[in-house]
Each structure stands twice: as structure tokens, then as C-alpha cells.
Structure 1
Amino acid sequence: MSIEIRELDPALPRTITDLLPVHQASLAVDAPSYPRPTEGYLRLLTGPRPTQRRVFVAAYDAGTLIGYGAIGADVDANQDMFSGDLAVLPGRRADALVPLLDASKERARAHGAKRLVLAFAQAAPDYAPVFTAEGGRKVDIERRAQLDLKTVDREKYAAWAAPSEKNAHYRIRTWVGPTPEDLLPPLVLAAQAMRDAPTGDLEFDHPAPNVDRRRRIEQWFAAIGAHRHIIAAFTEDGTIAGLHGLFVVPGSPMAEISDTSVPAAFRGHGLGLRLKAAMTLRLLDSEPEIEVIGTWNNVDNAPMLRVNDALGFRTAEIWELWQFDL
């Protein structure tokens, strides 16, 4: 047996097509609650983006693909870091994990990175021993939770989405991206509230406020056919006091939350719960094929975890992020 490592072109459509069976088989074992990924969903998660450099390495045994690494770096922030994950067929991890890790380190180093951060589901027993032996250290823990839309109590959600004494003075607006031009500046400003979200021991900087960056991301979502639903609460002067967004990939049964942000000056008004409840009701009506909503949060983000738990989100998996200094 001889493992061959090849670099794949992220821009070629067949790359995602080839990787999908390995991705599906890996998640089925490591994260069985995860809805079976579609090609469109994997393309959105790991394919080329206007704000990232992407690198794919793949492990082959006698011409058969048995695992891959998908890593990337933001072009505007954390330029010393490549991050991503390794997906290997469950029965081939002893053969392919180390070669893929070495190749990922090599490619990240070649692009000038000083660190490589990789994620895996805590339930997968194969990764931690290998990552420890290869010099990695755990730097963050994330909870992935899901809301089963069949369990949603519309009456209760409608009550949460209704104006309360603390937030009745905000004007609520919803739309599907791309965001109208006049709303981009306040949206970008409000999104900066996510800067204070915990990241464990991972050194992570959010990109600086940039309207053009947000515009390009939303245009890219639309170009690949994804629906980006956004809801925001506005003050009288047009400031966004809270926003919540999620995306839907046609053909996938899961909607994924992309951002929830309430600037410090507007916290304590119940906006997170109100916006999330209203968005869920909107999704039930506008995207009836969606079965679950998925969301990721740092395990130390107590305020967001409380809101999600109240809404009925339940833990699907715990994921660990490990850093390799290059």
C-alpha cells in the first residue's frame, strides 16, 4: 500500500463531486445527527470564495480517493492562519491522517501561514491521538446544535417574535440577499458586535468593517444559488440594533445560521430571541423543504446558548479546534 497525495483545484466543479462521498461517509460516522450533505452544500462550505484562498489536498490508494484536507485563509484577516478540516473514510484513518496533515501543513506554510487550525467532531476517536503526536494543541471547543422544525410551536414562536415592552420601539425588516445598498453600511457596522464572542485560546481577529467585502460575499451567495435570509431591528435613525441571518442551499434539508449580532448598546432588550423566532417562522413559510436549522457557538458563549436552548435547539455534536504552529 502506498498513499499518494495530490493537490486538487478548488475551482474545478469535479473536485467537489469527487470529495462528496468521503465527506458524507466521514460525517455519517463522526456526526450522525448531521443531515446528509449535498454537493451544493459542500460546494458552499469548501469551494472558492471571493474573500478566501482555498487549498485542497487528497489522499489516494491505488487511484481511489480515501480522504482529503480542505483548508483556507481569509484574504483580509488572520493572514497568518490557514484553517479547515480533514475528512477520511473511517476505515482508512490510520493510513491517511498523517500524510494529509503533513501535506496540509506544507501547503499552509508555502502560502506564508504561521499556524494551521483543524476541526473535528469530539466523538471521532481517531483524530486527537494523531494530532497530539504531530504537535497539535486544542485551542477551542464549539457546540453545533440543531432545531428540528417539526417540533416548533408556532404559537409560542409568534409570542417570542411579537414586540415586547423592551423592544416594541424597534422597526423590524426582513429580506433575502443581496442586501439593498442603503442597508449595507449599518449592517456591516452592526455585525462588528460579534467581535466580542469568545474563541477559547484561539487568537482570531474579525475582518475590519468593509462594505465592499460584505457586498461581494452576498453577491457570491446569490451567484451559487444560495438563499441568504436576513432580519434586522432598526432604531428611528436607521441604526441596526440587532441582526440575524441564515442561508439555505437548494436541495439541502438544513438551513445554517450565518450570524446573530446585537451591539452592546442594545443588549438586554430581547432582540436575539425576537429576531431568531421571527426568522424561524419566516423560514417555515418560505422554505418548506427545510427540516432543521443548524448553528455553531463557542461553548463559553452563555448568552447565545441560553437563547438557542430556549428556542429548542439541541446539541448535535461538540467540535474541537486544534492548532499546529508552523
Structure 2
Amino acid sequence: MSRLLTWLAYEDDDGAGRGRAVGAATLRLFDRAGQEHLAETDLHVRPDARRRGTGTELLSAVVAEAKAARRRSLIAEVPACTPAELFCVRHGLRRARPLYHLLLPLSEVHRGWLDELTATDHPGYRPAEWDGIVPGTLADAFAAARKAMNVTPVGSTDHGAVGWDAGRVRAMAEVVTGRGDTLLTVAALDGDEIAGFTEVVIPRGTATRARQYDTVLVPDRRGHGLGVWLKAHMLRRLHDEYPQVTEIETDNAADNVHMLAVNEHLGFHRERTTYQYQLTLE
């Protein structure tokens, strides 16, 4: 669903072989339908090698390749209030949206409280859980629910709209499980439909820090407490089945105030802030 290109920058050769590596940049070119216009870059220069034009040269190479690939937008995510922000501004990128990076220590979440949250009455809904690839009987409903990601707040970033079907959701899960990670999903079922779901990934299946992936509610199912209910079910799974997991990290767009409220209600607290910057390519 994407291609990754990498550049390395070296100091001049001192006669003893290739010079020291002082910078690196990557360019991810998205190929999935709805995001063929999009590219993301990650660029770093060693602190003691900055202000020499290395970052500018790397960015120029990245931009040239993105244009050659006929991309419309280039996005970079940088830490807030750092020289990286000034670098972006100087090179014509505009700030598109802030992201809050949150952490939840599971030791601060009482197991009994999770029982109370999951026992909250939601008439007509029942939870469904699976590991890895979605069961075949739920694949179409899961794809339909995932399309709701296209209407979540994205600030002014040009992320596009991704088309989802059963094959695509299976392929995404296969990528995660294929690298040895454990993918857990909890969904809210209403008859044959999925009203929402939440996903957590445990790197290599044994890490102590899990990563929150998508949490999605279909638009007309929002505002009824299903977000907290789903995430509480997931936290209970982690408590019971994966005791080595001691914390969960996630990121939350600042303008997605409803999901931010859900996360903060469950005990997530802000660790840091980053900004997404965007460059519109001619």
C-alpha cells in the first residue's frame, strides 16, 4: 500500500573512506486508492552538522522525487516548539494540524472500574472480539465501518479518502501479523452491522507497551458512549490476556475533541505534541 525511499547524507571523505553519516530522509509514497496524491517524509540531521545546508539538500531530493511520482501533497510530522518547525516554515511548508501523543499506564486503570464500564447498558449492541484478520462473516461489515475514518477530523491536511473493502482490511491485518505483531480488535455489533471498533497492536506480541491503532464509530452511532464502552472492553482484554502489557500509547488529532475526551476519561495523559506540516507540490 506504499513504497519507501531513503536518502543518506555524508560528510566529505577525509581520505580514510566514506565520510560520517550526518543526515537521513525517507519518502513514503502511498499507492492505495484515494491517496495516490499523497507522500510523507521524515528528515533528520545530526545536531552538530546542522546549519550547513544538509537538510535543505535532503528535502530538495525528497521533493523532486515526490513531484516525479506526481504527488500533490507532502506531509511531515515534527516535534512542537523545536528547530524542526522553523525548518519547515523556511522551506514553505505550512502547519496543518497538531497531534497530541498520549500514554495510559494500565496500573492506573482499576480492573473493577472496567467491569463497570463494560456493563453499561447499550441496548441492541453486543461486543465481538478477534485476533489478527477479521472473521470472514464480519469482513464486509468491518470494511463498511472503517470507511467512517474518512469523516474523522484531519485539520487542513490533504489526506484524501480511502476506499475500503473486505480484501483491503484483510491485507492490512496480514501486514501487521506478518511482521510478528499481535493485532487485537473489539467491535460493537448491531445485528449484522458494525457500529464501531477499536484496535490495539502489541509489537512482536510480547512488548510491554502496546500501540492504539484505529478507533472508529460510524457517524450516526456517535454520542452514545460506545467509544468508552469499546475501549473499556479492550483494556479488560489486555488486563486478562496480556499481563505483560503495562501501558498503551496513542496519538489524537487536537481537533478530534470527542475522541480526545474518550481517551482522557479512560486516563490517557498527554506526553508531547507534534505538528503535521504540509507542502503543496506544483
Asked if Structure 1 and Structure 2 have the same fold, meaning a TM-score greater than 0.5 normalized by the shorter chain, the answer is yes
Aligned to 2:163: 208
Gaps of 5+ in 1: 1-50
Query: Is the 1:55–1:107 Cα contact (8 Å) retained in structure 2?
Result: no
1:115 maps to amino acid: S
Gaps of 5+ in 2: 12-17
Give how far 1:308 is off. 0.4
User: Matched residues in 2 for 1:59 and 1:203: separation?
Assistant: 29
Query: Is the 2:79–2:85 Cα contact (8 Å) retained in structure 1?
Result: no
1:111 maps to amino acid: A
Give how far 1:73 is off. 2.4
Are 1:111 and 2:69 matched, yes or no? yes
More off after superposition, 286-295 vs 83-92: 83-92
Aligned to 1:149: 106
Aligned to 2:85: 128
User: Matched residues in 2 for 1:109 and 1:93: separation?
Assistant: 26
Are 1:276 and 2:226 matched, yes or no? no
**Pick aligned residue for 2:247 from 269, 292, 316:** 292
Matched-pair identity in % = 27
Runs of 4+ in 1 over 4 A off after TM superposition: none
Aligned to 2:30: 74
More off after superposition, 169-178 vs 203-212: 203-212
Aligned residues: 272
Give how far 1:318 is off. 1.1
| SS of the residue 1:257 aligns to | strand
Are 1:194 and 2:152 matched, yes or no? no
2:26 maps to amino acid: A
TM-score (norm 2): 0.90
Give how far 1:152 is off. 1.4
Aligned to 2:60: 102
Query: Is the 1:171–1:235 Cα contact (8 Å) retained in structure 2?
Result: yes
**Pick aligned residue for 2:7 from 47, 54, 57:** 57
User: Matched residues in 2 for 1:201 and 1:306: separation?
Assistant: 21
User: Matched residues in 1 for 2:139 and 2:92: separation?
Assistant: 42
Q: CA RMSD in A?
A: 1.7
Aligned to 2:15: none
Give how far 1:218 is off. 0.9
2:186 maps to amino acid: I
Query: Is the 1:93–1:126 Cα contact (8 Å) retained in structure 2?
Result: no
Query: Is the 2:187–2:198 Cα contact (8 Å) retained in structure 1?
Result: yes
Aligned to 1:33: none
User: Matched residues in 2 for 1:91 and 1:198: separation?
Assistant: 38
Give how far 1:293 is off. 0.9
Q: 1:87 to 1:256 in 2, by over 3 A?
A: farther
Q: 1:195 to 1:91 in 2, by over 3 A?
A: same
Q: Deviations over 1:156-184 (max 9, x none)?
A: 122112232xx143111111111112211
Give how far 1:316 is off. 1.3
Aligned to 1:242: 196
User: Matched residues in 2 for 1:207 and 1:175: separation?
Assistant: 23
